[in-house]
Amino acid sequence: MTFAGWSLDPFWLPLVVGAAAAAILAARTARPRSPHPRWRLIALLSGLLAILLATVTPIEHLGNQVLWVNFLGFLLLTMVAPPLILLGAPLTLAFRAAAPSQRRRLRALYRSRIAAALTFPVFTWLVFAVVTYLWQFTRLTELAARDPILRDLQQFTLLLVGLLFWLPAVATDPHRWRLPYPLRALYVLLEMTHKALFGGMFLSMNAAMHRHFAENAPAWAPDPLLDQRMAILVLWLGGNLIFVAALIAIVVGWIRYEQRNQRRVDYRLALQREAERRRRAALEQIFQRPV
């Protein structure tokens, strides 16, 4: 159902609004004993807003007719919303707001074998690469643009694999496979290189891939081949900017971690030197001579 270009989707609208209400309620519940940082709640809500932008605004309506708008929605669902939601630390927020019995269930859930398999970094990288390729560069793109149910499935799976992909890189919530900072940077860099190679390959094509968009484009839309190249550039340039920002954030986090670790080492060494000084002072008092 659309209204003036807005899609009143019965799946996405209640889902996202309900998730936002639950996050705000959880933050208020957690505030007295274990407050959730406000900036993390803002990041989480911003990620949910990005989902709404991709699924209920004119981006969704026009995305079924113009390929570059379609790919803009893909970018929001895979590269913008997931890292923002994960920066909001939703699992940590749930722990802070939950009762002790609920925390035990949450702990058992994220420590389960299924969760461990789904969040294994090699799996998350591969499933992100494969699923995004299938939905963006095969005939499934055209089928989803014609079928509302398949379109919802497309958007949901893109969001899901985006969350799985960004989980090892963002690493704010507790999970089984916590990568050290160098491996996080390599993980993001590999996907950045992979997307750049595919982007270059599809930019070099001399024929439009998706006939549906060529046949159903509005009058103001660019010609099919230009539309395809604009779509690739949206993913390529937009995705690379986000990857670079993620790499910078990982490097900054790595530097801060090393600084904190060095301060801990210096503090322990200072305690050891003080203990040694006191021991020597005690021995000198006993024997009345320097040791």
Report the DSSP pairing between strands 2-3 and 6-7: antiparallel
Bridge partners of 2, per DSSP, are 7
For residue range 154-196, what is the model confidence (pLDDT) as tens digits? 999 999 999 999 999 998 988 888 899 999 999 999 999 888 8
Question: Which pLDDT score is estimated for 23?
Answer: 95
Contacts with 27 (C-beta within 8 Å, 6 or more apart), sequence order: 35, 36, 41, 93, 97
CA–chain centroid gap for 236, Å, is: 17
In terms of pLDDT, which residue wins out, 266 or 128?
128
For residue range 237-260, what is the model confidence (pLDDT) as tens digits? 899 999 999 999 999 999 998 898
For residue range 24-69, what is the model confidence (pLDDT) as tens digits? 999 998 887 788 899 999 999 999 999 999 999 889 988 888 989 9
Residue with token string 């320097």: 290
Q: Which of 44, 38, 53, 50 is nearest to 19 (CA)?
A: 44
The tokens for 206 are 């001399």
Q: Distance between CA atoms of 42 and 39, rounded to whole angstroms?
A: 5
Bridge partners of 7, per DSSP, are 2
CB 108 within 8 A of CB 144: no
CA distances from 186 to 37, 83, 193 (A): 29, 17, 10
Question: Which pLDDT score is estimated for 249?
Answer: 93
